[in-house]
Amino acid sequence: MCRAQGDAVAGWRGRRLPGTVLLLLAYVGYLLLGSTAFWALEGPAERQSAQQLLQGKWELLGNYTCLKGPALEGLIQGIIKAYKSGHTLQGNSTSLGRWDLVGSFFFSISAITTIGYGNLSPNTVSAQIFCIFFALFGIPMNLILLSRIGQLMLSGVQCCAKRLGEKLRWQVRGWGAGGGAVTCALVTGFLLFLLLPPFLFSVIEGWTYAEGFYYSFVTLSTIGFGDYVIGINPDLTYPSWYKILVSVWILFGMAWLALVINLCISLLENSSDLCQCGKKKSKELDQELMDCNKNSSPSPVDVENGSSKDTKPEDPLKIHMSLYASATIPEDTCPC
């Protein structure tokens, strides 16, 4: 029976999927979950918008019979292309300003931080070639700078948490200075980089708070959809310091969010260590079962001694069950 149990455990361990395969399956499942949710939420709105656009086109052509369909479509495509280049019609003039010094600085920030809103891109061949080499050297420099800024921010928060703990005499069992520093870093960063900036965007851009919060997270996480971008409304007059302040917010906010992501990675790795702990338990159990198989095989000397004695042998089932119970490792002795 002991041998059968050891073979069953070994066979189960042999059929166990590797950790990378499980992570890949979880990754694909998570993508499928997101795809299904977005398809269900955005699909009906997209179809309704397309119907309204097509209906508006046919109503325009019906009311103004002098307009030709291809000419109207060409005009619409030209307007879209001009809008992507940063030009909008304002009466008998067009708005400029996206490629001034401040606008170019904001584009440079969005390029090397890999945000890439998509609302503005170089059109000339020389600018496109320069953008390639600029991003090639700028992206590694940006990563190094974000790492240094993140370390400085964490060190500053740790120092503040230590001093605050000394003044308030925080002494919680099992809660070291590291845990307090991490909590302060999370709360302070969440306040400065996600909760407060939407108020500024609401005042200057006219967005709702939810839209400003959505833009803040999409920007700092470098997703950069481009559906919300600051400083592009031609009907508004922006302060000269606005884009510079937002650029500084992006730099420090990305460093803070990188700390949060690293914390999440550490938590996932710790959970993986717990799984490794369970694997070590299983390995030791297998070893004990193998020893059980060896010990349960009688030697010739034991057979002779047993035959010379008139004693009743003990039930082997009880022996194997006691050995199996002794092979179980308590949870408090896990080497994690």
What is the per-residue pLDDT across 203-225, written as a single tens digit (0 to 9) for each? Answer: 999 999 999 999 999 999 999 98
Which pLDDT does position 6 carry in this prediction?
52
Q: Which residue has the higher pLDDT, 188 or 12?
A: 188
CA distance 336 to 332: 10
Domain spans of the chain?
45-84, 97-292+316-326
Using the predicted structure, report yes or no on whether residue 31 has a pLDDT greater than 60: yes
Q: Name the most confidently modeled range: 35-44, 283-292, 303-312.
A: 35-44
Q: Which residue has the higher pLDDT, 136 or 75?
A: 136
> Which are the contacts of 216, defined by CB distance < 8 A and separation ≥ 6?
193, 194, 197, 198, 201, 253
3-state secondary structure of 260: helix
Q: How confident is the model at residue 258 (pLDDT cuts 50, 70, 90)?
A: confident
pTM: 0.64
Which pLDDT does position 169 carry in this prediction?
63
Q: Which residues pair with 88 in a beta bridge?
A: 95
Q: How confident is the model at residue 242 (pLDDT cuts 50, 70, 90)?
A: very high
Which pLDDT does position 94 carry in this prediction?
59
Domain 97-292+316-326 part of CATH 1.10.287.70: yes
Mean pLDDT of 15-34: 78
Mean pLDDT of 297-321: 47
> Which are the contacts of 286, defined by CB distance < 8 A and separation ≥ 6?
6, 9, 10, 13
Are 103 and 97 within 8 A, CB to CB?
Answer: yes
Q: What is the dihedral of CA 58, 63, 68, 73, to 10 degrees?
A: -50
CA distance 16 to 30: 21
Which pLDDT does position 124 carry in this prediction?
86
